[in-house]
Amino acid sequence: MRMTMLVSDWLVLDATMDNAGAVARQSGGRDDVAAATRSIRQEGWDQVATHGSDDGWPPHGATTQVELSVAQWQFVADQLRHWAAVAASVGDVAVADQPGSQLAGRIGAVLG
């Protein structure tokens, strides 16, 4: 499933996958999460970085398309919601309200 988003949205998604993967690796026993985050990040890099400036990355305000499986998009949305909830639980309302939770909502709307 291909989704169009701003490069800045991809960067939020990528950072969230990076955090989720790091926590999974550090906590042990979550090799499935670590592998999923690594795969999603690599697929995104391969797709997004091919449409860019001299450093390989397009400007943050540019749009890009990323194709992942429906299961991968669902995993992404779940992780974005999870980390927004973590931010809210520690009182970081600005992070909890945006942009990851907004992106999760947009992905969820597409997935139905």
What 8-state DSSP symbol labels residue 107?
A: H
Q: Which amino acid is at 99?
A: P
Q: Is residue 54 pLDDT above 80, yes or no?
A: no
Averaged confidence pLDDT in the chain: 86
Check residue 55 and give its pLDDT. Answer: 60
The CA distance from 24 to 26, in Å, is 6
The pair phi, psi for residue 2, each rounded to 5°, is -100, 130
Domain boundaries, the chain: 2-111
pLDDT, tens digit, 9 for 90 and up, residues 96-109? 556 888 899 999 99
The answer to whether residues 61 and 25 touch, using CB atoms and an 8 Å cutoff, is no
Check residue 102 and give its pLDDT. Answer: 87
Check residue 53 and give its pLDDT. Answer: 60
Q: Is residue 52 pLDDT above 60, yes or no?
A: no
pLDDT, tens digit, 9 for 90 and up, residues 1-27? 999 999 889 989 999 999 999 999 988
Check residue 77 and give its pLDDT. Answer: 95
Check residue 18 and give its pLDDT. Answer: 94
Check residue 95 and give its pLDDT. Answer: 62
Instruction: Return the HEC string of the chain.
Output: CEEEEEHHHHHHHHHHHHHHHHHHHHHCCCHHHHHHHHHHHHHHHHHHCCCCCCCCCCCCCCEEEEECCHHHHHHHHHHHHHHHHHHHHCCCHHHHHCCHHHHHHHHHHHHC
